[in-house]
């Protein structure tokens, strides 16, 4: 994969084509593909379609139900708080990709890591919690495993979210490279979108 990946946005910034491009590059059939923020299941659905073994965690029960209905193996998604990852018995992970919930630097009490349900949000705490999640992912990574985080820099309050996540997660995983996502119609709320690639 080159350093720039050109994709069609289609109203979303975590598309099946983005996931497919990374699974093509970094995985083979049978590999465990983990999404710690499974959302509506883009990663899991693409992984299953490509013959990989999907595994996801999502905090919102109604989203988990939606994803289960899309999967041949509904047990591939767990309804849990990924901050409690160390309480879950995870298999060796060959590859992880996600788009974590976003947070801007200021004026943002809604906590992304409770699905914006609580008002204890704090930017630095958010970054620290992401690092703690990936510290746990790192302990489960199979030899040669790869972690990809899709993150944008945000126009709101000049939030360098991609850089800040890159820095935070670099404390627990080895930073390898970034891939710039060249959207055909970039959303106005971001300055640029990246996939940050880490190894153990």
Ligand X SMILES: C[S@@+](CC[C@H](N)C(=O)[O-])C[C@H]1O[C@@H](n2cnc3c(N)ncnc32)[C@H](O)[C@@H]1O
According to the binding rule CB under 6 A, does residue 64 interact with ligand X?
no
Q: Is 82 in the site for ligand X (CB under 6 A)?
A: yes
Comparing CB distances to ligand X, the nearer of 97 and 141 is: 97
The count of residues interacting with ligand X (CB under 6 A) is 23
Nearest to 93, CA basis, from 23, 32, 26: 32
Nearer to ligand X, 102 or 143 (CB): 102
Nearer to ligand X, 35 or 178 (CB): 35
Beta partners for 53?
32
23 contacts 197 by C-beta, under 8 angstroms: no
Nearer to ligand X by Cβ, of 2 and 10: the residue is 10
Q: Under the criterion CB under 6 A, does residue 20 sit at the interface with ligand X?
A: no
CB 100 within 8 A of CB 130: yes
Interior/surface letters 90-109, b for 16+ CB within 10 angstroms, e for the rest: beebbbbbbbbbbbbbeebe
What's the distance, CA 109 to chain centroid?
22
What is the distance between the alpha carbons of residues 103 and 121, in angstroms, rounded to a whole number?
9
Min separation Cβ 65 and ligand X, Å: 12
21 lines the binding site for ligand X (CB under 6 A): no
Phi, psi of 17, deg, nearest 5 = -65, -35
Give the tokens for residue 98.
């996600």
Site residues for ligand X, 128-167, by CB under 6 A, read none
Is 113 among the residues that bind ligand X (CB under 6 A)?
A: yes
How near is the Cβ of 87 to ligand X at its closest, in Å?
12
Q: Which residue is nearest to ligand X (CB)?
A: 39
Stretch that binds ligand X, among 3-11, 97-105, 141-149, 191-199 (CB under 6 A): 97-105
The reply to whether 83 sits near ligand X by the rule CB under 6 A is yes
> Which parts of 34-53 interact with ligand X (CB under 6 A)?
35, 37-43
In whole angstroms, the minimum distance from the beta carbon of 191 to ligand X comes to: 18
Please provide the distance, in angstroms rounded to a whole number, between the alpha carbons at the two ends of the chain: 20
Number of residues in the chain: 200
Contact in structure between 101 and 161 (CB atoms under 8 Å): no
> Which residues are near ligand X by CB under 6 A?
14, 35, 37-43, 57-60, 63, 81-83, 98-99, 101, 112-113, 115
């Amino acid at each position: 994969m080159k350093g720039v990946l050109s994709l069609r946005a289609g109203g979303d910034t975590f598309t099946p084509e983005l996931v497919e491009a990374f699974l093509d590059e970094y995985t083979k059939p049978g590999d465990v593909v983990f999404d710690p923020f499974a959302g509506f299941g883009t990663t899991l659905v693409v992984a299953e379609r490509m013959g990989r073994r999907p595994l996801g965690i999502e905090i919102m029960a109604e989203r988990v139900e939606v994803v289960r209905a899309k999967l041949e193996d509904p047990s591939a998604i767990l309804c849990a708080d990924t901050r409690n990852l160390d309480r879950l018995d995870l298999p060796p992970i060959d590859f992880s990709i996600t788009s974590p919930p976003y947070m801007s630097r200021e004026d943002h009490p809604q906590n992304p890591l409770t699905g914006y349900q609580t008002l204890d949000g704090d930017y630095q705490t958010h970054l620290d919690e992401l690092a703690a999640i990936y510290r746990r992912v790192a302990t489960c990574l199979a030899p040669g495993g790869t972690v990809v985080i899709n993150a944008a820099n945000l126009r709101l309050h000049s939030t360098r979210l991609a850089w800040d996540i890159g820095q935070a997660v670099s404390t627990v995983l080895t930073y390898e490279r970034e891939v710039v996502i060249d959207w055909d119609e970039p959303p106005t709320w971001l300055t640029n979108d990246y996939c940050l690639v880490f190894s153990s």
